[in-house]
Amino acid sequence: MKKKLVSACFAGIHCRYDGRHNRVEQIQDLVKRGEAIPVCPEQMGGLSTPRKPAEIVGGDGHDVLDGKAKVIDIDGKDVTEAFVRGAYEALHMARMLGVDEAILKEKSPSCGSCVIYDGTFQGKKKTGKGVTAALLERHGIKVASEETWEEQETPKNS
């Protein structure tokens, strides 16, 4: 059975920017059964917990990887390097473990698979991928959000 990479906050690990978690019981159970590996690309990139909230400015994760956009924290500090380093660490772990699927936290500048914040720090969202989600997809790893994964895992009533 192939293991999945999952956002560590889903496993109940306090690694969000605000020091909290986003526990999802079904995903935490995957980790407990050894079917999923928790990662926090932001911590893996060298950022502390807690840390200042950050958003992608000038594009999405693909643009960050291509050098066309930056990840900036709420105080205006450029944290792009840490986000890119963390994304590559997550990719390295996925490759080492033979992972071909990831379940990542939507809206995160690292992990967002479909939606991220728009870079204005006003709670507005836009279509786009986080840095880690974009890098994993570029390397053939299927990326899902917690919502889309739960939809796939929940049996439909017939």
**Three-state secondary structure along 27-69?**
HHHHHHCCCEEEECHHHHCCCCCCCCCEEEECCCHHHHHCCCC
Segment 99-117 mean pLDDT? 96
On average, the pLDDT of the chain sits at 94
pTM equals: 0.93
Asked whether the predicted pLDDT for residue 85 surpasses 90, the reply is yes
Q: What number of residues does the chain have?
A: 158
Give which of 144, 110, 107, 105 is closest to 126, Cα–Cα.
107
Q: Is the peptide bond before 50 cis (omega within 30 degrees of 0)?
A: yes
Contact yes or no for 132/56 (Cβ under 8 A): no
Rounded Cα distance, 78 and 101, in Å: 29
Asked whether the predicted pLDDT for residue 117 surpasses 90, the reply is yes
94 falls in which pLDDT band (50, 70, 90)?
A: very high
